[in-house]
Amino acid sequence: MRGEGELQLRFDEGHQQRYFSDRRSLLECVVRVAAQSPHPRFEIWGEGPPVRLADGRDGGRRFELKEVLDLRDESVRDRVVTELSAHDEGGRP
């Protein structure tokens, strides 16, 4: 699971979050949840460098905002569907 690190999806105005090891699974969740959610904004957070304690040790995981998908924008919705289709066909977007 170290390739791109763990991904976190935040939605429902930040009240919900899910974790994924790959982008394909994350996008499938976006499409599935978007059909039911009144909030069309999804934030994708990626695992960043670990939190450093004052003594230099690793103190925990940190996530950084990587992308915002606002599905009110048709071009964003189309891009998500296209990228998911590319993953399904075995290609890389």
Each residue of 31-49: pLDDT tens digit? 999 989 899 999 999 998 8
Judged against a pLDDT cut of 50, whether residue 71 lies above it is answered with: yes
| Residue 70 located in a structural domain | yes
8 A C-beta contact, residue 11 and residue 24: no
Range of the domain at 70: 7-88
- Per-residue pLDDT at 1: 33
| Residue 2 located in a structural domain | no
Q: Which residues pair with 58 in a beta bridge?
A: 52
- Residue 10 CA to residue 47 CA, distance in Å, equals 13
More confident residue, 89 or 22: 22
Residue reference for tokens 């919705």: 77
| Residue 49 located in a structural domain | yes
| Residue 73 located in a structural domain | yes
| Residue 41 located in a structural domain | yes
- Per-residue pLDDT at 3: 45
| Residue 39 located in a structural domain | yes
- Per-residue pLDDT at 60: 87
Mean of pLDDT values over 76-92 = 85
Q: Considering its fold, how many domains does the chain have in total? A: 1
